[in-house]
Structure 1
Amino acid sequence: MTTRSYGQFCGLARALDAVGDRWNLLIVRELLPGPMRYGELVAALGGIATNLLADRLRSLESAGVVERRLGETGGVTYALTPWGGELREAIEALVRWSTPLMVTGRDDDSFQPRWLAVALPALLNGRTSKTPAELGIDVPGLFMTLRIDKDGPHVTLAPDRRPATILEGQPEVVLGLAAGAITIDQALSGATVHGDRQVLATVLPGAQA
């Protein structure tokens, strides 16, 4: 496989040699919550040609970012290597940086609920609580839990149990509260809180107002 390179002895340039091609970081985003099958990646990345996805996966494998694994029920899954997983910090920084680009709204852009598992820890980076607080987040297509404790935010997709407090609404509302861009009063026009609002205030910045 021919690998394009900037030909520069610079950490940023060499990082972009490995993951800078179009779709590469979005593939990493999909794999941050856990391994996925090829068909799941095609569906989640809607718009990518299957031959291009195959090419990008080969490139990321060659770079040591992605590896193939045997799935629990057989078949091949794609997962991040430990080194590939270290891209979380860079991706979360880009998510935070993108906040001014997100306030214009969704428009006709596609959205996958799974993306919240990457966005929420990024937006809540540095937020801690001496007393752990756990919030269920129920958006169309997915249920997850968001926990804040002394170590920061943690997201669990499709948890085994549901916490006592649940925020049910559209993903735009959840993102707005996490970014502190909207208040809970504004959010309630498109969301419902089941349980203790104090838990919501502990977990999401916008819910404090």
Structure 2
Amino acid sequence: MEKVKRTLGRSYGQFCGLARALDVVGDRWNLLIVRELLPGPMRFNELMTSLGGIATNLLTERLRTLEAEGIVERRLGEAGVRYALTPWGAGLREPIEAFVRWSAPLMMTGRDGGSFQPRWLAVALPALLREVTADPALEIGFEVEGALMVLHVDEDGPRVEVEPDRRPDTILKAAPEIILGLAADALTIDQALAAGHLRGDIQILRSILPPGRATAATTPDPR
């Protein structure tokens, strides 16, 4: 295992893995920046827009810190500079997904005025549906607040495609709390369809649900 030399001045001063992890990513916004980059690289302005509420100078500071710690790297391409996770930074997917699952009861209280970005489903859905597999592979689209995400499920489990090149045959259009509630096993298919709209094959929707949950006999509008 490669040794990592810490660069931060502030520390809990404890010989504990959790404490040392928090020394690196425990500052406000750090884990949310990692969340933004888990689906793929982003430009600075894209991070500003998606995060919302963070000052420009603070985002600059946080990115510099995460880069110094070996979690984030800058990539220069035709589109300019984009920020991406390093392989070590990408290793934060597992604990972040665990936080998503742990937070499910907190999410069931509703948005309560909280902001939302459809891109966040690319992290939340694989976390909530981690045990779901399919052979042959299947896919379903989720249309949320004007954006389309495509959930692919195969033998290796679920993954979400952001900004897909094509529209899948089956798409559920609903508010984010409906899609998250369905994935977290807090809503039935009937409840989700009553609050949203399904175009396509309801069997696809049934197939991606966590084991043991109820299914519905509702027939979707074929339009």
After TM superposition, the score normalised by the length of structure 1 is 0.95
Give me the whole-angstrom Cα distance separating, in 2, the residues matched to 1:111 and 1:196.
27
| Structure 1 outlier segments of 4+, above 4 Å | none
Moved more, 5-14 or 194-203: 5-14
Identity %: 67
Q: Deviations over 1:6-65 (max 9, x none)?
A: 111211111111111111000000000111111111111111111111111111011100
| Counterpart-to-counterpart distance in 1, 2:142 and 2:121 | 10
Aligned to 1:159: 164
Letter in 2 for 1:66: V
Pick from 126, 139, 142 the counterpart of residue 137 of structure 1. 142
Q: Which aligned pairs between 1:40-119 and structure 2 lie closer than 5 A?
A: 40-73=46-79, 75-119=80-124
Give 3-state SS (helix, strand or coil) of 1:122's partner: helix
Give the Cα separation in 1 of the matches to 2:107 and 2:141. Answer: 23
Amino acid at match of 1:172: E
Tell me, yes or no, if the aligned pair for 2:97 and 2:123 is still in contact at 8 Å. Answer: yes
2:4 matched residue in structure 1: none
Q: How far apart in 2 are the matches of 1:151 and 1:88?
A: 16
Question: Does the 8 Å CA contact 1:121/1:155 hold for their aligned counterparts?
Answer: yes
2:194 aligned counterpart, secondary structure: coil
Q: Which residue of 1 aligns with 2:14?
A: 8
1:84 is paired with a residue whose SS is: helix
Q: Distance in 1 between matches of 2:13 and 2:70?
A: 19
Give SS of 1:148's match.
Answer: strand
Shift in Å, 1:173 = 1.0
- 1:65, 1:84 within 8 Å by CA — same for their partners in 2? yes
> Which one of 129, 145, 148 corresponds to residue 153 of structure 2?
148
1:171, distance to aligned residue in structure 2 (A)? 1.2
Shift of 1:207: 7.2
Instruction: Specify every segment of 5 or more residues in structure 1 that has no aligned partner in the other structure, as ranges.
Output: none
Match of 2:26 in 1: 20
Q: How far, CA to CA, are the matches of 1:36 and 1:87 in structure 2?
A: 17
Q: Distance in 2 between matches of 1:92 and 1:153?
A: 13
Task: Please give the alpha-carbon distance, in whole angstroms, between the structure 2 residues aligned to 1:72 and 1:90.
Answer: 33
Aligned-pair distance for 1:86? 0.5
Q: Which has the higher helix share?
A: 1
- Please tell me the residue identity of whatever aligns with 2:35: R
Q: CA RMSD in A?
A: 1.4
Counterpart-to-counterpart distance in 2, 1:196 and 1:188 = 13
Q: How far did 1:3 drift?
A: 2.2
**Separation (CA, whole Å) in 2 of partners of 1:207 and 1:117:** 24
Residues 37 and 77 in structure 1, CA contact (< 8 A), matched pair in contact too: yes
Deviations 1:89-123 (A, max 9, x none): 00000000001111100110000111000000000
How many residues matched?
208
Which residue, 110, 120, 124 being the options, matches 2:125?
A: 120
